[in-house]
Amino acid sequence: MLIFAAILAIFVYGMIAATLGTREPLRGQLRIALNNGVAKDEIVDLFIHLEAYAGAARAFDSYQVALEVFAETADER
């Protein structure tokens, strides 16, 4: 249950950062989420849902940040 709460908190902070359009905090939250076992597909789903609340442009910008983080983490491994 504690792990679920931690992952949920990461998602919430990531969603807030994405909605506000703050790229660097979002980048950090995405790295934390990936390091804690959140799947890339789950993160992509987050941005699909974000579109309804923050608009397509903000969701797309946030998704681009996620793609950059995905590429960084792939290079590290």
**pLDDT tens across 30-73, in order?**
888 888 888 899 888 888 888 888 888 888 888 999 999 999 98
Query: What CATH number is given to the structural domain containing 40?
Result: 1.20.1290.10
User: If 0-12 CB within 10 Å is exposed, 13-18 middle and 19+ buried, where does residue 58 land?
Assistant: middle
Looking at residue 6, its pLDDT comes to 64
Domain with 26, as residue range(s), is 2-76
**pLDDT tens across 8-28, in order?**
766 777 777 777 878 888 888
For the chain, the domain total comes to 1
Residues 31, 69 contacting (CB under 8 angstroms): yes
Under the phi-then-psi rule, with left for phi > 0, alpha for psi from -120 to 50, and beta for the rest, what region is 37? left
1-27 burial code (b ≥16 CB/10 A, e <16): eeeeeebeebbebbbebbbeeeeeebb
**Does residue 1 register a pLDDT over 70?**
no
**Does residue 2 register a pLDDT over 60?**
no
